[in-house]
Structure 1
Amino acid sequence: MKHLLNMSLTRFKRLFFLLPVLAVLASCQKTVSHDIGGPEHNLTISFRAQVDTMPLEFGTTYHNFFDEPYTVSAFKFYVHGIHFINTETEAVFEVAKDRYDLIDFADSASASIKIGVLPGKYNRIAFTIGVDSARNVSGAQTGALDPTKGMFWTWNTGYIMAKLEGNSPVAATPNNAFEYHIGGFRTGENVVEKITLLFPYTTLVDLQPNKTSDLYITTNLSAWFHNPHDIRISENPVSMTPGPLAVQIAENYRKMFSVAEILNEP
């Protein structure tokens, strides 16, 4: 009897200990909002292409981490799944899940995204680079996912998530061209990357109803070539299929983003 009593007391103590832990966990659950349901905040997200500290200009010669000279003729990627986050309150606003934008730096207008945001205070933005698996196996689509955008392979291999093309004298290819068409969504070759960026100085930005803001995101192309993986144009001038090289390049370029500034309407 004494043994059974001790066991019961032990279980009670464990339960008593777990109750506050469960309460804390419950309080930390994120509140995700999808609908605005009232006046919205008008936000423009603009991606600025750079090579280190220099603005990207097609046809201009740059040097990568390994001092390999190159010029750029195409640079574009898909963005979807945009979230705004307040890490203090765990509040999250998610822009429409089915929205996809193709950022194409050959078309300056496409580098800016205009969206409505649930008014509130936020200190982070998150988004996904690429196209989710369901869309990859749905065949050719419309809008930003239209095959005429030059970012669709086939129903089997799906979409190109990000593309970088140019020329370099170190590329032993016809016309010294290098081509990085990064795609793949299946296990072991998935290059869809989720990005989370802090606002400058990790401060909360108050996005008020019926107001307008501009958020500028620096996109540093140099990241494609280095850290954590060394990608030399002389050794790997082409990546045109899903696989280990594409995964490595995606793991590099996921670090090319940073929030430069946020300008709020007075």
Structure 2
Amino acid sequence: MARGKDIDGSMSVPTFYGKELRWKREEAGLSLDAFLKGSFYSKTYLSDIEHGERRMPLDLAQHADQKLGTDGFFERNCEVVRKARRGPHAAYFEKALEAEKHAESIELWSPIIFPGLLQTAPYARALVQATHPTASGEWVEEKVTARLARARLFEQDHSTPEYWAVLHESLLSDPIISPREMAEQLDQIVELAERRRITPQIIPRTCGAYPLKAASIMVMTFPDAPPLIYTEASYSGDTIDDPALVKQYRKAYDRLRAVALSPEASLAMVKAAAEEYRNGKLWDRLE
């Protein structure tokens, strides 16, 4: 059997990889359905990979090597493709970044900072500068621009995922940017909510103990792939696909949402906080 070609970079690496996969699949006489038998993925998912539009998960690469007899070619080179797709975002975020573009729903719990998809430029800039205090201004702006670009997801009417953000009240009352900038940050959340692009809920400071108090998570579901959980800290992140663990996180998130304020009450709180900042007043933490 002829060995697959080495990825040579003569075209986009993800495109080359996808073409190689399609060529080997068709050479083996396998339809999309026949190739995917025994995996958890759909024809749409595989088609996206073959067109260079989606990364190959490790388990699917291993499935391809087993199905096509390619002696580990796709498993070895899926890491090459991952590196080739890398942009200004952190390496540990790559899988979650691609996943959110294809997600049917994104459910997020963020107790410490506003989620990246909801951040304004001043807020994102303050976070990047605080996390990387010695970075150049050009590097910081590259990171900020890349983060803001992710929000284009909310402009794609035909493919916008259902986005549910559970936030802690401290995000409203503990500003990291100026009052004017905080008003703009909160206005952005209000605008997205009123356009029905997101559903925000607030966990009150007086809530006491609640699920996921020590973690921030993003739960992503897909029409053509198993669900994923993404957890993140300042300099690391982890994508979880183990079914038992995903189920545990999923249940915890549902319990967390149950103790949050209703979407209507939460949006009213965000609007009130924005008005306080717009008027130059600090949010009353004892209210």
Shared fold, TM over 0.5: no
Which structure has the highest helix share of the two?
A: 2
Larger Rg: 1
Higher relative contact order (Cα pairs below 8 Å, separated by 6+ residues): 1
Normalising by the smaller structure, the TM-score range is under 0.3
